Structure 1
């Protein structure tokens, strides 16, 4: 576990952990030596000349003073190292998550990250703060006692060595079951955490459909599984506790019986026997203690393994040789991509002209949003290439500096309206932030809410409507001021007035920027300079609006269907 802990924490913590191990080992060595000195001290005190014990007593006092001098800084270093590790692990997990491709973030993994960052980091923090010290004591102190016992009586020393080997084998065997049970419990806890969040977020839907009772079923099942997993962990840990406890007690009884036999046989004095039995008791005590800590050790070991697994996850590769793009046109060449083995794009080739507005059209599941995410390099294609300005996005120095994206699902941070707009460019001036916000009609939201621009939006933007969240997201993209802007159904949640304002903003952007918009609205299609029709993961048609209508193909059929739907009205019967 120690090696895996070093790997999880990185080389920057090597010196601190080695120093901590050194302090703990020194303290355990001094403690073991002090226990050994109890034998000559008791031997002299119980002998014919008790005054001869004073040199041993002084030596014992010196050892205990040295132990105290090492033990205090070791304890402080353990807690300090634990808190430092907790902080740095959170940073390392956060940095890693920010580098992972979006395809990695499945529902079960998102819940697992929360459990990893919360519970598992605490489990690892407890290693230097609480577990490492008794682990070192359990290894070093009995070793010192056994080696010293060979000096006094080899027969009792051999008995202790056999007991130590039996305890180590029992601890290892019991630990395997505990480790497997903890891994199962960890998966169950992550699922339960996800279910709790899902249940809270789904309250509007559940209540709207009267599922206030039935809606608990999935959560109840997850909590029941969590309870069962906890009981399984207890059952898995009990054999180790009982087994080690039995070995410890049996070892002491065997040592007592053997020592008594040797004393009655005359080969061991009574005073020496009492002293050696005290030493045997100090040998047995760490074994009893490690039995109680065994479960915590295995849990911490699993936590280290899980964090190492996350940190070892492959991220998007960074090219050692980068190139600056020549322009802001976008081209996809024979791109293939899928999710979990299901193909979405199947040899897609298309071009987005520079400084023009291109509309992406197609049925649900055609891969429109996937195209947007591939261009922004949220993940890489399985085959083919995505080029910006003639350069593969994998060889761009920083694709995010060239591209702004507005997605259909908008997340706002729990802060003010102004804070959420400023996310687009944190170093922007207030005037630039206000200008971008007004272009996206965010000023209407600020005028409506108490507090104006400083009004809190709530967690995830819960105080705002879907259209208002969308407008703030658009303002972020405008503030970022990049040569390429990607809109993923940006007008889906806007009313007619604000949709018109957004259309004007998009038209203004397209005069000096490359704009790609996933379009469903008729106005957007009319205003587009270029239209690409997707179907079956391929571009089946490209051209301008009038030209595509004249072809009477997929686009013409789509236009007619949307035109008929545009005229639908609800009437009373």
Structure 2
């Protein structure tokens, strides 16, 4: 792919240079033709110039079309490749350190810098260098004078090198602040849009609006400075062009090359600046491109939370036995500063066995599921699947074996059918229907319709429907070990009870690890493990744990008392 793109980039450079050379030849031939025709020579003396003018005019359009076609093709492919790399840096187990709005800004605005780098900077610079060299050669052919070369080279160098360097230096002072300013504004707008109900409920909408307006004004101020630099660069380039042409005319008149030669030299010098003048804007844009590329590198350089082995072991085959042995996981890299999220946890999942994990918030329940899915790296201990350490397996293979319902399921802005097919792209209607029926969602699907478009992040469905839809997706994926993280979180008591009852029914004889804070129905699971501060403090069946003092019995009594 890179070799193909490299060849197309070379063709784009050659086509752009050819288009500029054709434009230079067109002006030179037309200047010679007009001034020579004024002398009323025989028509035969003008025939070559007439043909050349037509040829240059036609070829300029053809070459420019080829340059734009190939150049934009390479630029768009490079931009797509950059976005693909960025997508890869965002999927688990990578850990982006940036907010959603900032990531969106990097994904949209910063990746366009790759396209601008090629289309607005590299290609014009290469074509301008060729056109400037050709202008000097034409000038030397008509008037072999060192002073002419000095004037042309000096004018083109100032316009094509010094001016872009100056605009880049000036723009660099605040260009690195423009991309973060855009991200700040995007974040403020996202808060206004997605948090409008909460802002209005607490009377904070005016303050949030003022913060968004301040972010907008800050960005506008930076962009106005860029506009002033751009205007100054344009004026400076035009001034250099005019001074260079005037100097060339004076030199031609002093050397007495005649009206025809003077016209050709003047117009050649004039048109040689056509591909050079945009380089000032390219230099200004280059400062922004450099900052954008640096921001993209920050995302791509984020180290994954876990690393795949160089030579992954074969994926174990079902039925699976999963063993967690003395697992220690610490989120902070400084052991002396924080206690472990998991501190010596052990458990065993045999085929068809259902285990529930119970404990207060922050006990490490979700961390345990993340470790099972290879999203965090243990400090010590190990997790094995049929005796194979998960650290020896590819992360994708582990997640195909053990995955399921996350704590915050996401519903995409697409049809109900496509939301389900995220977990089974090739699933037919019968398989989809079985998954929604198992999740007790069949009646709602019939009323809503398979092709009904759901709102972003499940905004058009209730909390219970969202959780059931996510459960249907997990059941459709049908991993050998089903992991369920707080499936009844944030639901009202009646809805949560129904969901938990249906969930425990549908997972019967299915290897399942259930994280929950609701105890009703857990008498049907094979084992309950209580986590507190990252450690296993109790384990056993529901009736055994209720019979002894401890966190589980306290929580059970509280839950029973609440239901009364």
Is 1:31 the counterpart of 2:18? The answer is: no
Match of 1:457 among 451, 454, 457: 454
Query: How does 1:295-374 map onto structure 2 within 5 Å?
Result: 295-300=284-289, 302-303=291-292, 306-307=295-296, 310-311=299-300, 313-315=302-304, 317-319=307-309, 320-325=311-316, 327-331=320-324, 333-338=326-331, 345=341, 347-354=343-350, 355-374=352-371
d(CA) in 2 for partners of 1:100 and 1:242?
50
Query: How does 1:19-418 map onto structure 2 within 5 Å?
Result: 19-35=11-27, 54-55=47-48, 58-81=51-74, 90-91=83-84, 93-94=86-87, 96-97=88-89, 99-101=91-93, 103-104=95-96, 106-107=98-99, 110-122=100-112, 124-125=114-115, 134-151=124-141, 152=143, 153-167=145-159, 168-179=161-172, 181-260=174-253, 262-263=254-255, 269=258, 271-300=260-289, 302-303=291-292, 306-307=295-296, 310-311=299-300, 313-315=302-304, 317-319=307-309, 320-325=311-316, 327-331=320-324, 333-338=326-331, 345=341, 347-354=343-350, 355-381=352-378, 385-397=382-394, 398-418=397-417
CA contact (8 A) 2:17 2:127 kept: yes
CA contact (8 A) 2:365 2:531 kept: yes
**How much does 1:172 deviate?**
1.7
Is 1:15 the counterpart of 2:4? The answer is: no
Unaligned runs of 5+ in 2: none
> Which string of whole-angstrom CA distances, capped at 9 and with x for unpartnered residues, describes residues 115-157 of structure 1?
2343344554466667666444322211211233334222111
Q: Which residue matches 2:428? A: 429
> Which string of whole-angstrom CA distances, capped at 9 and with x for unpartnered residues, describes residues 53-106 of structure 1?
654554455444443443343344445555555666555544x25645353264
Q: CA RMSD in A?
A: 3.7
Unaligned runs of 5+ in 1: 1-8
TM-score, normalised by the number of residues in structure 2: 0.83
CA contact (8 A) 1:358 1:517 kept: yes
**How much does 1:376 deviate?**
1.7
For the residue of structure 1 that corresponds to 2:347, the secondary structure is strand
Aligned length: 550
For the residue of structure 1 that corresponds to 2:275, the secondary structure is helix
CA contact (8 A) 2:168 2:285 kept: no
d(CA) in 2 for partners of 1:390 and 1:236?
65
**How much does 1:547 deviate?**
5.4
Residues 363 and 305 of structure 1, relative CA distance in 2, 3 Å threshold: same
d(CA) in 2 for partners of 1:557 and 1:500?
21
d(CA) in 1 for partners of 2:531 and 2:85?
40
For the residue of structure 2 that corresponds to 1:286, the secondary structure is coil
**How much does 1:13 deviate?**
2.6
d(CA) in 2 for partners of 1:446 and 1:34?
68
> Which string of whole-angstrom CA distances, capped at 9 and with x for unpartnered residues, describes residues 476-527 of structure 1?
1122222211111112244555544544454456653332222211225544
d(CA) in 2 for partners of 1:273 and 1:322?
77
Residues 25 and 455 of structure 1, relative CA distance in 2, 3 Å threshold: closer
**How much does 1:303 deviate?**
4.6
Q: Which residue matches 2:528? A: 531
CA contact (8 A) 1:135 1:290 kept: yes
Residues 291 and 418 of structure 1, relative CA distance in 2, 3 Å threshold: closer
CA contact (8 A) 1:23 1:70 kept: yes
d(CA) in 1 for partners of 2:537 and 2:140?
86
CA contact (8 A) 1:360 1:532 kept: yes
Is 1:557 the counterpart of 2:554? The answer is: no
> Which string of whole-angstrom CA distances, capped at 9 and with x for unpartnered residues, describes residues 27-66 of structure 1?
2334345555578767866889787565455445544444
d(CA) in 2 for partners of 1:41 and 1:81?
39
d(CA) in 2 for partners of 1:136 and 1:441?
64
d(CA) in 2 for partners of 1:125 and 1:363?
50
For the residue of structure 2 that corresponds to 1:534, the secondary structure is strand
CA contact (8 A) 2:323 2:384 kept: yes
Q: Which residue matches 1:5? A: none
Residues 145 and 568 of structure 1, relative CA distance in 2, 3 Å threshold: same
Residues 510 and 98 of structure 1, relative CA distance in 2, 3 Å threshold: same
For the residue of structure 2 that corresponds to 1:487, the secondary structure is strand
**How much does 1:441 deviate?**
1.7
Residues 49 and 418 of structure 1, relative CA distance in 2, 3 Å threshold: closer
d(CA) in 1 for partners of 2:164 and 2:462?
57
Range 125-134 or range 284-293, more displaced: 125-134
Residues 430 and 69 of structure 1, relative CA distance in 2, 3 Å threshold: closer
For the residue of structure 1 that corresponds to 2:403, the secondary structure is strand
d(CA) in 2 for partners of 1:352 and 1:106?
36
Residues 141 and 384 of structure 1, relative CA distance in 2, 3 Å threshold: farther
d(CA) in 2 for partners of 1:280 and 1:143?
11
Residues 124 and 61 of structure 1, relative CA distance in 2, 3 Å threshold: same
